[in-house]
Amino acid sequence: MSVYGETRRIMTAPVGGALATLVMLAVAGVRQGAKAVVNLRRTLEHRRVISQLAGLDDHMLRDIGITRADLRDAAAEPLGADPTRVLVLRSTERRVAQRLSQWARAGR
């Protein structure tokens, strides 16, 4: 190859690297934006579910294993947090406590 070709390649290589870096940053930004949109959509869906659960009567909520206070606590979670996590934790805690209580009574 001629000296001219080598000089041209050396001069354009940094530009190509910078362009590749910019493209990679743009792709990463789009990916993060898409994740943010998916997370926002999921959060809004979970808040809608909380709202629907609030429409149930206390007996139905008890059958599910949650209370109105649990719903209020879940709705009070920050916007970015998953409110259904609170409901799952509370329901699981009650179920485990009930089973432990039954197990302790049976062991007497």
Mean of pLDDT values over 88-103: 92
- Cα separation, 98 vs 28, in Å, equals 48
Burial class of residue 37, CB neighbours in 10 A (0-12, 13-18, 19+) = exposed
- Give the model's confidence band at 58: pLDDT under 50 very low, under 70 low, under 90 confident, else very high: very high
- Cα separation, 82 vs 75, in Å, equals 9
Whether pLDDT at 34 is above 70: yes
Q: Which of 63, 61, 64, 86 is nearest to 75 (CA)?
A: 86
**Residue 70: CB atoms within 10 Å:** 21
Domain chopping of the chain, boundaries: 3-106
